[in-house]
Structures are given as structure tokens and as C-alpha cells.
Amino acid sequence: MKTPQIAFILILIFITGCTVAKEDPAPASAAPLCSTTVAEISECTTSTSYSPAVTITGTAQFFKRKIRVLGNPDTTSLTLGAPITSALPIKFAEVRVLDGSGNVIQCGKTDATGLVKALDGTSALQIPNTAGNYTVQVLSRTNHTIALGGGKPTYKVYASVKTDICTNGIHTLSKVVTSDGSTPISVASSDLTAFARESETSGKIQGGAFNILNNIVSTYEYIGSNTGTDNLSCLSPKFHVYWQAGFNPAQYIYPSEDPSTLDHISFYLRGYSELYINGGKLGNVSTVDTDHFDDSVIIHETGHRIEDACGKMESPGGSHNGLFRIDPRLAWSEGWGNYLAAHIVRNKITDINPQASADLTSYDGWLYYLDTKGYSDGGGSASELIKFNLKKSGSNPEVVQNRSPVVAGTCGTEDFCFDKVDAAANPGEGHFREVSIARSLFKITNTCTASTCTGSGATYFPKLWQGFVDMKNSTYPFRSSIRLYDRMTAAFGGTMPTDIDNILNTDEAQQRHGNSGYTSTNLTWPSYGIKLVPSVSACTFEIQPKSETDNVTNSLSDQRYSNHYYHIDKATSLAGISTVTLSAVTNTAGTTGISFGMKTHTENFIYPTSTSTYLSSISSSSLTSGTPYLLNVRAFTSGVTVLPTTRYTYTLTTDIGGYLCPSPTF
């Protein structure tokens, strides 16, 4: 239940997620959102036996808007169109039967095909043999136990799709039926159908709510079926989802702002198991950005919930748009969400959008992350906001729509492209690019090459999941894609398969720790978060800074080139050491006048920009035992022209005559 203070809670907690080209919200001060709040109605969990009884049958189903496919595989246009031809089943949803006075007299659920059943999911739904009117309800809520057998523990998909944070209302399909006290009742399918058009739903578009629920169920089912005997109880706690047609959840964050000025956002609240899906703006669902039928967006945000519940979520949030190198923690988190969205849609497409499966037969199936705007029937206008093909090569990805200049089918040197990488010139840069991370994971788990995708992710997804979950261990702080690949390598028994390494090394510039591409004479890029340990021998690091005006970077300096990041802890990295000094900063070629500094951060740091916070030395007395720290050595390039040849070398010396050097193993 929300409290009247929810607005202030939203201001204080960290908001993460959003889709790939939308910025994470930066909350401002606000008044309370709700003068009063209403608790979510209690779950219907009691099965009542009636003898004699009257049975009720029926099928619950929903429509969603179809994906319109235009063009060829290089120039495919994907937009929302008219509803799909055949409805999809509403699976495992709560069913309630009310008598004429509004009392709940029976509880049930739908099965995998949408059939209305008793709570056990198989027996017939029964009511007493008393004549009268009864209301059959199907709710956008599920508390379904998934039992796969084979030694795998059961887990639950437990979620509610609610209208708003004030009323906590559950989207509901209702049909009043009349019983004569003896004849079985059959509810017509059309009476338990959630439609996708405003005209069919008085503007409520219940199909959106049940599509969101179906995406969550389908995602949980896929993970369960493709993780061996792993325990997935981390997925079982309740998941709260908020959506209503025509409403932009940015209003929850900025309640004092003019709603017409707010950008559309969908987002997940870390630590709260709450997901907010964009339903439009000020009642408009036809010509603006909405996400209730954008499966990629829904599953992307669900991926953040899975990351929060089953892995470790430490993204700092902030701007991310698939064009620049960014904080590797942010790149990893958003790349994971982008990947999971495309992967689940591809591998569960018969449950999520079978009509798209038929339309994409000649396109290697579903290969996309997709976020749309508007729809094409009923007077609306449809367009793509974001679409990228995850089988594309990192060296020649798609050109971003609505950017110029654009050369169709080619990512040229002057184009804005979705995280174009150069594995030879910029080794490791893919770890700082969310779309590159999404592409690599997709290719790894879907048997993809630059030219084609074959098969599913059944072979490597279990190992990916093992690495994903293993990163939750506090032994492995500062999570990023390079940390994931280290844990995946361990899951493979210590040797990464060659086909995975080929994708990482040659296609997506995500070379793993220890790759020779990171070393010239000196160590040019210590793997993000590699632990520093004492050494009697010097190790020389080399920074190859990039200009802050470079179009491959962002306004905070290029974190792949202008920064080195190390994991240190007081007990092992600094045992017997009082002071660590950044020493022997030497200009070996190019520009002079660049300032340097280092700073420690805990796991929850947000990237700072002030040079005054950086030091030439750090004291172990300022650090807390048992806390992992990230040591950031940075070259400040603001206002300085950086040449391609510019190089700086440095060492990290200690007050006891030794050095800090990277651990040989990640």
C-alpha cells in the first residue's frame, strides 16, 4: 500500500531503467501525489466446494496491436498497426465470481490457454445451484507457481498490473451471467476479451494491461525453462506494475510540472519491485509515444526487475542513447535490458506476438529492440522511435533514424550509428556501449553471425544466466559486462568457447580481461574494476586520453580512454599501506597541460565532474574496512585539444616503497 508520502519517497530513491534513448528522470521537489490511498484488493485465494453445483466455463483472451513490417532486412520499418487477427490467451490470471450482492463466492484462475478454471488450474469453476445473477471477473493479477520438475525448485510469477498508485486498482474484465440454478454456464469469449482499440474499451484499452502481464509471464517462463535446475526463487516476490491508457508516469515524479511538457518514460524503481509503463499523454494514445504494446520496452524494464531481484543492480542511471561510450555499469545494465527484450520476444514469439513471427519469416525472425510512437489505424500516425537490429556487426550497425547525414544501409564515418565499435583501434570500448553489449549477448545466445541468425539461445543462455547471478556475490563488486564474461568463463569451466570469443574480440570490441589488445609497452586499459594488489615491482599504466568534444564520447570525458578504474579494499589492497600516490605522470607524446587526479568511490557512486574532488594521493585511513572502493584515475581534457598521439604514463606508489598493480586474475 502506498502512503501519502509516496511523492517524497519517489524523490529520494534512485530511479533507473528507461528505454535506450530516453533519459532516466532526475526528480525535482514535489507536492504529495495522493490525498488518500486505497490498498490493492485482497487476492482471491479460497476455493469453495458446492454440492450440487453449477459449472462456469469460458476463455479469457486479449488483443494487442500488430507490428507492421515494411521494407527489406536492412531497411525494415516496424510500427504499430491494427490489432492482431487472433486474440492471445490470458494465462494464469486471477478469476473471481461475485454474487448479486457483490460478495466473492468463488476463486479461480485461467490456465495456459486462457480457460477459466478452479484454483488448481485444472478443475471446473463452480458456483452454488442458486438461481440469480453472478459476475465473472478476470483480473490483471497472477500468483502462479511454475513447477518444471527435473530437480528444479518451483518458483512463482507473482504480479499485479494496476491503474495508479493512489487507488491501486486492478484492471479487470467483468461479465454478468444469469444462472437458473442447474444449467452449466458458458461465457462467450467476446465477454472475457481485453481489446486493443479505444473505441472497443471506452478508452481503457484493457488489452494493454493484459499484454504487459503476458510479457512478464512469458519472460519468467523462458528463464525457468532455460536455466537447468537453478533455483529461481529470486523471481517469486511480488512485482507491482502501474499503467493506464493515456497517462504518462513521469507525472508521478514531477507532479508539480505541466504534464504537457513532460517527456514520456517507462521506468523501474530499484529496491521497490515497482514498474511504471508509459500509457501516453493527457489521454492521447494514438499519436504519441506509448509502451503498453511495445513488448521490447516492457521486457527491458522487467529485465531491470530481474537484475534487481536475482543479480546485482548498481547502475548510476543518467543519459544513455546508444551513441556514446558511457559508464560501464550503466552500459551493462541497459545493455542487459535491451538484450533480454529482443531475446525473449524472439524465443517466446508464439506467446508474445505470433503474427509478427509469420510476418518476419524471411527476416531471420525477430532480431530487434523496438520502441514505437502512435499507430496507423483509426486516424493515428505511426513511427519508430528506436529500432536496432541485434544481429548487425558492431563495425557496421544501423544508422539512427531522424539523424543526418544518413546513408541507407551503411554506417559511415559521419553517421550517427547505434554504438559503432572498432575492435582493432578501440579494444574494449564495447564494454562502455549499451547497444554493443546487447548485440554481443544476442549473438552469443541466438547463434548469430553478421549475415544470419539460426537457432535459439538454448545452448549458451544457461551459462549467461550463471554468470549473471554469480555477479550478485559481494566478491565481485563493480559489475559490468567484463565482469559478466569473467563469471561466464568460470561457468564454462575456465575456458570461454571460441565462438563467443570471436564475437567479443572481432565483432563487438568487448575483449575479455587479459587480452593483448589492452597492452602496448604499458597497460593501456586495466579491466574495469580489476583489483589492485601490492607489488614490489613497478607496473606502468598508460592513459590515451580523448577530447571531450569527440563525437564518440560524452560530456563527462571518455571513460574508456581518459579514465582507469580499479577495485581496492583496505584489507588486501592496502595491507600495511598508509598512502598511495599517483606518481610519474609523464607526457610521452602530444598535448601538454592536461591535469590528472584520482578519487575513491563506493559501489553507489555517481560519476563526479569536479576536478577539485580529485587528489594526487589517498590515505587508507579515509577508507572503511570491508567496503569495496573504486579507484578512478582520470585525465581532465575539458578545453584541451587532445592529439591522436597523446599519451601519459603513471605508476601507483605506496609509502612503504612498493606499488599497486592489477591482480593477474579478474
Phi, psi of 610 (to 5 degrees): -80, 130
**Given this model, what pLDDT does residue 605 score?**
75
Domain ranges of the chain: 53-491, 518-662
Residue 220 grid coordinates: 519468467
323: confidence class by pLDDT, cuts 50, 70, 90: confident
Does residue 24 contact residue 280 with C-beta atoms inside 8 Å?
Answer: no
Judge whether residue 277 has pLDDT over 50: yes
pLDDT at 1 over 50: no
For the stretch 585-629, pLDDT in tens is 888 877 777 888 899 988 777 766 677 788 999 999 999 999 999
> Alpha-carbon distance 282 to 278, whole Å?
11
Percent of the chain beyond pLDDT 90? 67
Most confident of 519-523, 545-549, 655-659: 655-659
Mean pLDDT along residues 559-567: 91
Flag whether pLDDT at 552 surpasses 80. no
Residue 112 half-sphere exposure, CB side, CA atoms within 13 Å?
A: 6
Residues 496-513, mean pLDDT to the nearest whole number: 93
Give kind and range of the element (H or E) at residue 634: strand 629-636
Residue with the bigger pLDDT between 261 and 644: it is: 261
Distance CA 468, CA 483 (A): 9
**Which parts of 276-419 fold into alpha helices (H)?**
295-310, 328-347, 349-352, 354-359
Cβ pair 576, 590 in contact under 8 A: no
Q: How confident is the model over 8-24, as a mean pLDDT?
A: 35
Lowest mean pLDDT among 214-223, 258-267, 313-322, 475-484: 313-322
pLDDT at 2: 28
The predicted structure's pLDDT at residue 222: 97
Which whole number is the average pLDDT over 325-343? 95
Question: What pTM did the predictor assign?
Answer: 0.93
List C-alpha distances in Å: 129 to 102, 115, 185, 191, 385. Answer: 17, 22, 11, 22, 55
Burial 4-14 (b: 16+ CB within 10 A, else e): eebbbebeeeb
Cα separation of 448 and 442, whole Å?
8
Average pLDDT over residues 399-408: 60
The residues, any chain, with a CB within 8 Å of residue 202's CB and separated by 6 or more, are: none
The contacts of residue 502 (CB under 8 Å, 6+ apart) are: none
Asked if residue 534 has a cis previous peptide bond (ω within 30° of 0), the answer is no
In this structure, what C-alpha cell is assigned to residue 227? 536455466
In total, the chain counts a number of residues equal to 666
Instruction: Give the torsion through C-alpha atoms of 328, 499, 475, 563, to 10 deg.
Output: -30
What's the order of all strands across the beta sheet hosting 125-128? 125-128, 53-57, 185-186
Q: Which three cell numbers stand for residue 115?
A: 480457460
Which residue(s) pair with 453 in the sheet?
448
The residue type found at 77 is S
Mean predicted confidence (pLDDT) in 506-519 = 92
Residue 4 has pLDDT above 50, yes or no: no
Residue 209 has pLDDT above 50, yes or no: yes
Q: What is the mean pLDDT of residues 232-258?
A: 95
Average pLDDT over residues 356-385: 86
Average pLDDT over residues 71-76: 61
Average pLDDT on 210-231 reads: 97
Give CA torsion, residues 443, 449, 451, 455, to 10 deg.
-70
Q: Residue 593 carries which DSSP code?
A: -
What's the mean pLDDT in 364-392? 88
Q: Provide the sign of the torsion angle of the four alpha carbons 287, 291, 293, 296, taken in this order.
A: positive
Closest CA to 112 of 350, 279, 422, 287: 350
Q: Residue 194 has what pLDDT?
A: 98
Query: How far is the C-alpha of 417 from the C-alpha of 395, rounded, in Å?
Result: 10
Predicted local confidence at residue 170, as pLDDT: 98
Residue-wise pLDDT for 108-154, tens only, equals 999 999 999 999 999 999 999 999 999 999 999 999 999 999 999 99
Task: For helices 295-310 and 328-347, give the axis angle rounded to 10 degrees.
Answer: 120
What confidence tier does 637 reach under pLDDT thresholds 50, 70, 90?
A: confident
- pLDDT of res. 378: 61
Mean pLDDT on 502-517: 93
Condensed to tens digits (0 to 9), the pLDDT of residues 431-467 reads: 999 999 999 999 999 977 666 776 655 579 999 999 9
How many C-alpha atoms does 64 have within 13 Å on its Cβ side?
28
Q: What is the mean predicted confidence (pLDDT) over 533-541?
A: 94
